[in-house]
Amino acid sequence: MASNHFQNNASASTLSGPPSTGDYITDSVFRAVALTCASLLILLLAYILWEIGGKALPAFKEQGLGFITGTTWNVNEGQFGVLPEIWGTLYSSLLALIIGGIFGVTIAIFLTQDFLGNRFAAVFRTIVELLAAIPSVVFGLWGIYVLIPLLRPAADWLHEHLGFIPLFGTELSGPGLAPAALVLAIMILPTVAAISVDAFRRIPYKVKEAAFGMGTTRWEAILKVMLPTASSGLLAALVLGFGRALGETMALAMLIGNNNQISLSLFAPADTLASLLASNFPEAGAVEVQALMYAAMVLLVITFVVNVIGLAVQQYTMRKFEGKK
């Protein structure tokens, strides 16, 4: 009876059996498609570099490296230089990094070093993550109608009383570097905080226990043990945050004032590479498009280098703590 049962199933050949020809074909096709898709990812980056580079080539031939050191952007005379934009990009990102970095790392300490119970820590982490979810344009709008009016009295006071310091050398006449950098700081805060939290979490708990066992106060443990141990992870957080700040576009295009000048003043309008692209691209003619492609290439190279450094530091940290290859 039992043997019959088996025979029946074997003859029906539905339950088990070697893969049919159809299965083999499906298998190879599917694997080929997956392989293609993975390669597409790499090709995409290559294609992006090729396209932007290719479109920038005429401008590169025309302008040479003078493009990077030039300070005028005059479409009619065909003069293009992006030094003020490079300056504005680096200056605004650096300011944002200082503010966002201090806040981000402190918030990471706040979340990981037993300041809050687990439940409250989760709530606070959600708040920080929600900050990352708010679109850039909405921050721009908020900056125009909330932050700038809020900053103006303080900025004017600083200019009036401390105007001899170059940082406060001009009045805040509306959009300018200070509101742009502040909004940028808010926008990179979640990135910095999230990566820093990871860095602190990676430290084995016994390290902290050992420090407390030696009789340190909470802050001695944090400053002398936790921070140095997490330092490479924190560095990665800061570098990747910086990379994010460099490429941020919309909020800056709305807040920085798009003024082609190099100034140390926090309240002067400035410009960044990304906001130059955003404000000039839609109405650009053929020659200007080439110059803008060149500017895009400069932005691409800067952010690429910063991001690769950040990723490398992050990788190094992971290896250090987990012995991962």
Of 237-276, binders to another protein (CB under 8 A) are: 240, 243-244, 246-250, 253-254, 274
- Applying CB under 8 A, does 79 fall inside the site for another protein? no
Which residue among 59, 86, 96, 128 contacts another protein (CB under 8 A)? 128
Binding mask 7-36 for another protein (x = CB under 8 A): ---------x-xx---xx-xx--xx-xxxx
For residues 276 and 109, give the distance between their C-alpha atoms in angstroms, rounded to a whole number. 37
- Applying CB under 8 A, does 299 fall inside the site for another protein? yes
Q: Say if strands 73-74 and 79-80 run parallel, antiparallel, or are unpaired.
A: antiparallel
Cβ count near 166 (within 10 Å): 11
Greatest Cα-to-Cα distance within the chain, rounded to the nearest angstrom: 103
Q: Which is nearer to another protein, 159 or 192 (CB)?
A: 192
- Applying CB under 8 A, does 101 fall inside the site for another protein? no
Q: Which is nearer to another protein, 159 or 211 (CB)?
A: 211
Which residue among 57, 68, 94, 141 contacts another protein (CB under 8 A)? 141
The values of phi and psi at residue 80, to 5°, are -130, 130
| Mutual angle of helices 177-201 and 83-112, in 10-degree steps | 40
Q: Closest approach of Cβ 186 to another protein, in Å?
A: 5
Cα distances (angstroms) measured from residue 317 to each of 20, 221, 235, 237, 321: 48, 20, 10, 11, 6
- Applying CB under 8 A, does 125 fall inside the site for another protein? no
- Applying CB under 8 A, does 84 fall inside the site for another protein? no
Q: Closest approach of Cβ 163 to another protein, in Å?
A: 27
Q: Closest approach of Cβ 142 to another protein, in Å?
A: 5
| Planar angle of CA 228, 310, 225, nearest 5 degrees | 10
Q: Please, which of residues 39-58 interact with another protein by CB under 8 A? A: 39-42, 44-45, 47-48, 51-52, 54-55
Which residue among 82, 107, 180, 188 contacts another protein (CB under 8 A)? 107
Q: Closest approach of Cβ 23 to another protein, in Å?
A: 5
Q: Which is nearer to another protein, 217 or 231 (CB)?
A: 217
HEC-encoded secondary structure of 75-114: CCCCEECCHHHHHHHHHHHHHHHHHHHHHHHHHHHHHHCC
DSSP character at residue 269? -
The values of phi and psi at residue 120, to 5°, are -70, -35
Q: Please, which of residues 154-213 interact with another protein by CB under 8 A? A: 186, 189
